[in-house]
């Protein structure tokens, strides 16, 4: 199964003004990475990319996910992956101008 999602980076930038959004979407490990990014533009791109990736992962999974906190995207051998519900999902994220897009595919 596959999933794809696209988000407007400016929309995510406005939503992140509420700390609850960042805490709701990112796991504690992801929050550490997010906070370590120095440049505001890069932080907005990164957050939008992670949000799009989690939405794409939810679309690819056969069963519902109760929380974004259940999805922790990590980097393994320079590739983004997520192990959720005992399912390995490969993820790719791209940014272009005002948008971030993510593609998720369940590993077979």
Token pair, residue 45, equals 């791109």
Which is the catalytic residue, given 14, 43, 79, 95?
95
Cβ neighbours of residue 25 closer than 8 Å, sequence gap 6 or more: 47, 50, 51, 54, 68
Token pair, residue 28, equals 């504690």
Which is the catalytic residue, given 14, 54, 59, 90?
59
Mark whether 95 is an active-site residue.
Answer: yes
> Active-site residue numbers?
59, 95
């Amino acid at each position: 199964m596959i999933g794809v999602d696209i988000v407007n980076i400016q929309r995510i930038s406005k939503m992140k003004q509420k700390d609850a959004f960042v805490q709701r979407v990112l796991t504690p490990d992801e929050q550490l990475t997010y906070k370590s990014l120095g440049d505001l533009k890069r932080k907005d791109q990164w957050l939008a990319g992670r949000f799009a990736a989690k939405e794409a992962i939810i679309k690819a999974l056969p069963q519902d996910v109760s929380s974004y906190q259940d999805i922790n995207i990590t980097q393994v051998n320079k590739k983004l992956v997520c192990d959720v519900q005992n399912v390995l999902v490969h993820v790719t994220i791209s940014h272009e101008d005002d948008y971030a897009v993510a593609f998720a595919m369940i590993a077979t």
